[in-house]
Structure 1
Amino acid sequence: MPARSGATKRVAERVVEIRIRRNFSQETLARKARINRVTLARLERALHPPRLDTLERIARALGVPLAELVR
């Protein structure tokens, strides 16, 4: 298993926090972001660094600026 960087963990925590605040399930967010639910689940567990295009899709689906996910 790859090492989890601090930045990857912080992004994962922000995605989960905002997703829960929006009352979205993983399935709902994945569908809105047009990504696979398994990809989202792995991102939320910080199992691998997310790609920029994936983060952009997630931010758009959550209705937040990309910077909100990486602060």
Structure 2
Amino acid sequence: MNLREIREQKNISQYRLSKLSGISQGLLSAYESGHKKPGMDNILKLSQALEVDIAALINPKPAA
């Protein structure tokens, strides 16, 4: 699953994820659309905010 799929599965809005992670909503949108790739610092913030293993964000698996 990719970032958007993980976020939606956890019923978290981009706005809420922005507040939980400290990453702007605009940047989250760019990550989800593929326009930008997060650095390791933001991957760590996202994994903590979403309560998922970092590997889920680094090596996303296709949704079943």
**Shorter-chain TM-score tier:** 0.7 to 0.9
Runs of 4+ in 1 over 4 A off after TM superposition: none
Q: What stretches of structure 2 of length at least 5 have no aligned partner?
A: 60-64
| Structure 2 partner of 1:23 | 11
TM-score (normalizing by structure 1)? 0.77
- Calculate percent identity across the aligned residue pairs: 29
CA distance in 2: counterparts of 1:70 and 1:49, whole angstroms:
10
RMSD, aligned α-carbons: 1.1
Give the length in aligned residue pairs: 59
TM-score (normalizing by structure 2)? 0.85
Deviation at 1:26, TM superposition (A): 0.3
1:54 to 42, 46, 55: 42
Q: What stretches of structure 1 of length at least 5 have no aligned partner?
A: 1-12
| Structure 2 partner of 1:33 | 21
